[in-house]
Chains A and B, each alone.
Chain A
Amino acid sequence: MGAASRPTSGGCSGYPAIDSINRVPSVLAAFLALAATTVAAANDGLASMRAAGVMRWGCDISGGAPFAFPDPSDPDRVIGFEVEIAEDLARRLGVRAERYSADWLALIDGLEAQRCDLLINGFEVTADRARVVAFSSPYFRYAQQLVVRAEDRDRFTSLAALAGSPIAVLNGSASIESLRTAGVPRSLIVEYDDSLAPFTETLLGRVDACLQESFIARFFAGHDERLALVEQTFDPGEYGVVVRKSDGTLLAEVNAALSAMRADGTLGRILQRWGLWNDAQRELGTERGPEVAAIPEAIGTPPADGLPWSLILWSLARAAAMTALLTVVSMPIATFAGLWLAIAILHGPKPLSRLCHGYVLVTRGTPLLVQIFLLYYSLPALGTWLGVPELLTWNKVVVGIVCLAANYAAYEAEIHRAALQAIPRSQWDAAGALGFTPRQTLRFIVIPQSWRLSLPAIINDLNSLIKDSSLVSMIGVQELLAVALGIGKASFAVPSMLVAAAAFYLVLSLLADWFGHSLERRARAVQALPEPIPR
C-alpha cells in the first residue's frame, strides 16, 4: 500500500500516529492474501448476498462528513452521501443494506476476509489498489483544491503563484502525489495527522495554503470567512465501489445498478443534496436530474442551535458501556488465564512451561494492534481450513474481547509469577509436611496468599485495559473513543468530545479503583471457615 491508500476522504481519519497503523496491513499482507484466497474460493459474493438478503457495505464512520458519519443532531444515526448511495444500490440489487464499520485502513482487509460484500467509502480508483481489488465504474469525480487565507485571496490564485511557499496536506493523502507531480519539492509539503490541522495551520500562518479534495475544502473551509478557496482545481480523480476480485458477477450487477442510478437522476439528486454536484460529474455520465437544494448537514457548519448534548451524552454513555463490557469480560479472563500461565511456567512440565513462557514473551513483545488485526482477519481463513466456518461469525466484539484477554493474560502472568515466587519456600514445606499435594498447596495455601500480592498490580492493569480497549475500534467496535471522535468530527467539536470521552473514561477508571479496593479489602481479611454443619 502506498501513499494513495490513505483516505483522502479520511480527510478525517483522526487516529494519531497513523503511520504505524498504516504499516500493519502490509506486514500482514502475505498472510491475509492467503486467508482471502482460501475464503474467496469457497464463496460467490452475489449468491451469498442474495441468499442472506443483505448487502453488507463497509465504511469508516469516523471518517467524517460528507461520506458516512454520525448525524450531529442524532449521533446514533449514520448519514452521508455514501449511505444514500449504498441504500439505493441495495434496493436495486433487491436486498437490504447493512453497514459494516471498521477503521478505513482496515476496510480492504475486512472485505477480503469476507466480513462485508463491498466497500463504498471514498476509495480512489488507483492502479495500485486495482491490483488487489476490483473497482466499479466511478460514482464521483473530485479534484484537488487549494485553500488560502482570505487576505491572500488575490495573491495566491493558483498553485504556480504559491511557488516557494509551504503547503499543508493530510498525512499520506493523494494530495501529496498531486503536489509532487506538479513539481513542488518535498521540503515544502508539510504533512499533518489530523484533518482539521491543515486549515488551522493555514490560518495561523505556519503554511500559506493547504491542499485537499475539493469538497472537503468546501466542507471545512467554506463557512469560514477567514479562509478562501482557490477557484482553479486540478488533478481530478474518481471514487468507485470496491468489490473482491473474485466477485465478477457481483461487480457486473453493481455496475448495472450504478449506470441506472446515474441515468435516472438518482445519483445526481444525492450529490445535489450533499452539495457535491458540479459539472465534472456529467463527465461520468451522471444526470443531474431536477434541481434539489443542499441539506443543512451538507454545509459543514456547526449546528446553529448548539450541540444536542443530551443525545450526544446518551451516545457516549452507550459507547462507554461497550468499553466497560470489553473490560469487564476480558479482564477476569486475562487474570485467570494469566494465573494459569504463571503456574504452568513455574510448575508445569518442561515443554508446557517453555511453551507458556514463549507465549508470554511473544504476546508482550508484539503490539496489541497487530494481534487484533491478525486474529480478526485470520479467523475466517482458519475456520474454512479447519472446516468450522462458524469462526466466521465471531463478531468483532468477541474478537476484541479475545484479543484484549489474550494480550493482558501475558502481562498478568508475569504479575502472578512474581507473586507466586514471593511466597516463601517454607510455606510449601509446611503444606508438604501436612500431606497437601502440590496442586492442593497452590490452591489452598499459595494462591490465596499470592493473590493479595498481585491484586494491586492487576487493578493497575485493569485501569490501563479500560484505555487500551479503544484499540479494538480499529476493527470497527464502537467503543468510547471511536464514537467520541466520530461525533466530534461530524460536529466540529473534536476537543469537547474528547473532554467528554475523558470524563467517561475517568468515571470507568474510578469505578475500577473502587472495585479493586473492595477486592483488596476482602483479600486482606482472614478467610473465614465454613460454619459447622448443624446436627
Chain B
Amino acid sequence: MSTPALEARQLRKHWPQSGQVLDGCTVRVERRTVHALIGASGSGKSTLLRCLGLLERPDAGSILFEGVTAADGPVVSNDPRVRRCVGMVFQEPNLFPHLTALGNVWLAPHRVLGLDPGEARERARMTLDRVHALHLADRRPDELSGGERQRVAIARALAMEPTVLLCDEPTSALDPMLTREVMAVLRELALDAGTNMVVVTHDMDFVAAAADSVDFLHAGRIRVSGSTDVLGTRGLDAELDRFLQRS
C-alpha cells in the first residue's frame, strides 16, 4: 500500500466553550483522489479541515503529508516546505482586498515560494486560466461576483501547487447557479490528474459524481468511511441514514 497523500490519526480537539469537537478522527486520503467530508452542521467538519490545514493545533493525534509529519499533538510544523503541502479554500473567498485578482494569486508564489515577479506572474495567469478567470485578472475583489471570487480563491490556493487542496463548503455562500459554476471548476480539477482534494460539502450530487471516497462525521467522530457507494447503501449507520434522508 502506497503512502497516502494525507493521513490524520486520532485527532482530538476541544474548545473550552463547546467541549470535545473532534473526538479521535482518523482520515486517510489516497493519492490522486477526491475525498468528501460530509456531516450535519456542527459535527466538526470545519474544525477537522482547519486542523488538516494546520490553522488549528490539535490537542492530540498526528497529521502526515505524504508520510512526513506535519503535526504531532499540538506541535505543528513551522517548516515552510511542509506547510505548503496543503492549500485551503474557505466558505468565504477571503480574497486580499488590496490586490487585484491577479495580485491575489501572484502574492504567495512570489513571497512564499520565492519565484521572481515575472515567473510568479506567469504562474498566476496560468492558474487563473485553469479556473476560467483569466479575463478577471485586473479586477479588484469587490468588482467580482461571488462565484468569480470563489474561483479566484481556488486559483490562489492552486498556484501554490499543494499536495492536498482542502475545500470547506466552497459553495455554501453561493446561489445554485454559482454553485454549479464553482462545482464545475472543482470537478474539472478533480478529474485533472495529480490533484488530491478534501471537500467538505452538502452537495451529494457532487460527491456522487466527483468524489472517490467519503467520510461521514457525526459529533466529532467518523462514523462511516469508504467509497462513495456507502451513500447508496442504507442500514450501515443510523446517523448516516438520518443525515441522508434530510439532505
Q: What residues on A are CB-neighbors of B108 within 8 Å?
A: 434-436
Q: How far is the CA of A445 from the CA of B106 in the complex (A)?
A: 13
Task: Tell me the minimal C-beta distance from A422 to chain B in angstroms.
Answer: 12
Q: How far is the CA of A526 from the CA of B138 in the complex (A)?
A: 10
Q: What residues on A are CB-neighbors of B111 within 8 Å?
A: 436, 440, 444
Q: What residues on A are CB-neighbors of B116 within 8 Å?
A: 533
DSSP class of B's interface residues: helix, strand, loop or mixed?
Answer: mixed
- In the complex, which residues 92-150 of chain B have their Cβ closer than 8 Å to any Cβ of chain A? 92, 94-100, 102-103, 106-108, 111-112, 116-118, 121-122, 140
Q: Does A349 reach chain B (CB closer than 8 Å)?
A: no
Assuming the contacts A426-B90, A529-B103, A529-B106, asked whether A433 and B98 have C-beta atoms less than 8 A apart, the reply is no
- Which of A448, A452, A532 lies at the interface centre, i.e. has the most chain B CB atoms within 10 A of its CB? A532
Question: Which of B112, B117, B140 lies in contact with A435, CB distance below 8 A?
Answer: B112
Q: What residues on A are CB-neighbors of B92 within 8 Å?
A: 426
Question: Which of B54, B83, B94, B117 lies in contact with A529, CB distance below 8 A?
Answer: B117
Decide if B96 touches A445 in the complex (CB within 8 Å): yes
Assuming the contacts A526-B100, A527-B103, asked whether A433 and B118 have C-beta atoms less than 8 A apart, the reply is no
Question: Which of B94, B98, B103 lies in contact with A426, CB distance below 8 A?
Answer: B94
Question: Which of A433, A436, A526, A531 lies in contact with B88, CB distance below 8 A?
Answer: A433
Decide if A434 touches B112 in the complex (CB within 8 Å): yes
Q: What residues on B are CB-neighbors of A424 within 8 Å?
A: 94
- Residues of A in contact (CB 8 Å), total 25
Task: Tell me the minimal C-beta distance from B91 to chain A in angstroms.
Answer: 9
1/0 per position for B65-103, CB-CB distance to A under 8 A?
A: 000000000000000100110111010101111111011
Q: What residues on A are CB-neighbors of B112 within 8 Å?
A: 434-436, 440
Decide if A429 touches B55 in the complex (CB within 8 Å): yes
Task: Tell me the minimal C-beta distance from A504 to chain B in angstroms.
Answer: 37
Question: Which of A433, A440, A444, A445 lies in contact with B157, CB distance below 8 A?
Answer: A433
Q: Does B156 reach chain A (CB closer than 8 Å)?
A: yes
1/0 per position for A414-426, CB-CB distance to B under 8 A?
A: 0000000000101
Decide if A526 touches B99 in the complex (CB within 8 Å): yes
Question: Which of B98, B102, B118, B156 lies in contact with A434, CB distance below 8 A?
Answer: B156
- In the complex, which residues 516-535 of chain A have their Cβ closer than 8 Å to any Cβ of chain B? 526-527, 529-533, 535
Task: Tell me the minimal C-beta distance from A429 to chain B in angstroms.
Answer: 6
Q: How far is the CA of A84 from the CA of B117 in the complex (A)?
A: 69
Q: Does B53 reach chain A (CB closer than 8 Å)?
A: yes
Q: How far is the CA of A429 from the CA of B95 in the complex (A)?
A: 11
Decide if A527 touches B94 in the complex (CB within 8 Å): no
Decide if B117 touches A430 in the complex (CB within 8 Å): no
Task: Tell me the minimal C-beta distance from B4 to chain A in angstroms.
Answer: 20
Q: What residues on B are CB-neighbors of A136 within 8 Å?
A: none
Q: What residues on B are CB-neighbors of A445 within 8 Å?
A: 96, 98, 107
Decide if B140 touches A526 in the complex (CB within 8 Å): yes
Task: Tell me the minimal C-beta distance from B148 to chain A in angstroms.
Answer: 16
Task: Tell me the minimal C-beta distance from B206 to chain A in angstroms.
Answer: 22
Q: Does A449 reach chain B (CB closer than 8 Å)?
A: yes
Decide if B99 touches A435 in the complex (CB within 8 Å): no
Q: Does A427 reach chain B (CB closer than 8 Å)?
A: yes
Q: What residues on A are CB-neighbors of B84 within 8 Å?
A: 435
Task: Tell me the minimal C-beta distance from A453 to chain B in angstroms.
Answer: 11
Question: Which of A433, A449, A530, A532 lies in contact with B97, CB distance below 8 A?
Answer: A449
Q: What residues on B are CB-neighbors of A452 within 8 Å?
A: 98
Across the two chains, which residue of chain A brings its CB closest to B109?
A434
Decide if A444 touches B107 in the complex (CB within 8 Å): yes
Q: What residues on B are CB-neighbors of A444 within 8 Å?
A: 107, 111
Q: Does A248 reach chain B (CB closer than 8 Å)?
A: no
1/0 per position for A494-532, CB-CB distance to B under 8 A?
A: 000000000000000000000000000000001101111
Q: Does A94 reach chain B (CB closer than 8 Å)?
A: no
Q: Does A432 reach chain B (CB closer than 8 Å)?
A: yes
Decide if B160 touches A435 in the complex (CB within 8 Å): yes
Q: How far is the CA of A433 from the CA of B160 in the complex (A)?
A: 10
Decide if B94 touches A430 in the complex (CB within 8 Å): yes
1/0 per position for B39-82, CB-CB distance to A under 8 A?
A: 00000000000100111000000000000000000000000100
Decide if B98 touches A449 in the complex (CB within 8 Å): yes
Decide if A427 touches B98 in the complex (CB within 8 Å): no
Q: What residues on B are CB-neighbors of A530 within 8 Å?
A: 117
Q: What residues on A are CB-neighbors of B90 within 8 Å?
A: 426, 429-430, 433
24 CB contacts below 8 A, A to B, read A427-B96, A429-B88, A429-B90, A430-B156, A432-B54, A433-B55, A433-B88, A433-B157, A434-B112, A434-B160, A435-B84, A435-B108, A435-B112, A436-B108, A436-B112, A440-B112, A444-B107, A445-B98, A526-B103, A526-B140, A529-B117, A530-B117, A531-B118, A532-B117
Residue ranges of B at the interface with A (Cβ–Cβ < 8 Å): 50, 53-55, 80, 83-84, 86-88, 90, 92, 94-100, 102-103, 106-108, 111-112, 116-118, 121-122, 140, 153, 156-157, 160, 166
Using A427-B94, A435-B84 as known contacts, list a sample of 19 further A-B pairs with CB atoms less than 8 Å apart, ordered by residue number in A. Answer: A426-B92, A427-B96, A429-B88, A429-B94, A430-B90, A432-B54, A434-B108, A435-B112, A435-B160, A436-B112, A445-B107, A452-B98, A526-B100, A527-B99, A529-B100, A529-B102, A529-B121, A530-B117, A532-B121
